[in-house]
A and B are shown apart, each in its own frame.
Chain A
Amino acid sequence: AQRVTQPEKLLSVFKGAPVELKCNYSYSGSPELFWYVQYSRQRLQLLLRHISRESIKGFTADLNKGETSFHLKKPFAQEEDSAMYYCALSGYSGGSNYKLTFGKGTLLTVNP
């Protein structure tokens, strides 16, 4: 079974402060992890994926297999970063099929 845990439902920071959104996972195989973001009343969109080791909008996330974590970080938060963030794990579901399991999400608010 695969599981994704985001321990914080809400996270509030001030503009310019560092931000870290936590994500822990449980999966018996080799995980593929993602962060998705949903701005107010918009559709979900991919923010970044661990396999690409990319930085998008100043956000980075490092896969730590020892701690089974994939925390999302940004050194200086901006007001436009306010959104709902979902951590997701792609796992094998049989045949040639994969499915995403999402965490429950963290609502980030960046205050001016």
Chain B
Amino acid sequence: DAGITQSPRHKVTETGTPVTLRCHQTENHRYMYWYRQDPGHGLRLIHYSYGVKDTDKGEVSDGYSVSRSKTEDFLLTLESATSSQTSVYFCAISRPGLAALKGTQYFGPGTRLLVL
């Protein structure tokens, strides 16, 4: 499991409330990613990070922000949660320095978020 944990694992919140999800890794990997998984859409990249304080947007970044102040933690924040952000959120890490592993990502267990 590459030492990846996510917290919380389940959360129910109300529309308009800020929510922060945490991804923690113990293996000092440089690259970290946040995805959302929705039926009929597969996995879509929200944001990713290629180092401390270095982040970039993915394909569905609107309404989300991220922060990475330490190598081991990558935080995803929903500034004002909406019902459309009800989803399962996965964190992932990778080691792209190894050419053969550029696309090999290791995923966390996921966080189920319900926005009422």
Chain A residues with a Cβ under 8 A of chain B:
6, 9, 32-34, 42-46, 49, 51-52, 86, 88-90, 93, 95-105
Check if A32 sits within 8 Å of B40, measured CB to CB. no
CA distance A93 to B102 in the complex (A): 12
Interface residues of B in 23-43 (CB under 8 A from A): 31, 33, 35, 40-43
Check if A97 sits within 8 Å of B56, measured CB to CB. yes
Check if B90 sits within 8 Å of A43, measured CB to CB. yes
Chain B residues with a Cβ under 8 A of chain A:
1, 31, 33, 35, 40-45, 48, 50, 56, 58, 90, 92, 96, 100, 102-110
Q: List 18 A-B contacts (CB under 8 A).
A: A33-B103, A42-B109, A43-B110, A45-B107, A46-B106, A49-B100, A86-B42, A93-B56, A95-B50, A97-B31, A97-B48, A97-B96, A98-B96, A98-B102, A98-B103, A100-B105, A104-B42, A105-B42
CA distance A97 to B103 in the complex (A): 11
**Contacts known (A9-B40, A97-B96, A100-B45); A46 close to B110, Cβ less than 8 A:** no
CA distance A100 to B106 in the complex (A): 12
Apart from A97-B50, A99-B48, what are 19 other A-B pairs with CB-CB below 8 Å?
A6-B42, A34-B103, A34-B104, A42-B109, A43-B90, A44-B90, A44-B92, A44-B107, A51-B100, A86-B43, A89-B103, A90-B103, A93-B56, A95-B50, A96-B50, A96-B96, A100-B45, A102-B42, A104-B41
CA distance A101 to B108 in the complex (A): 17
Min CB gap B94→A, angstroms: 8
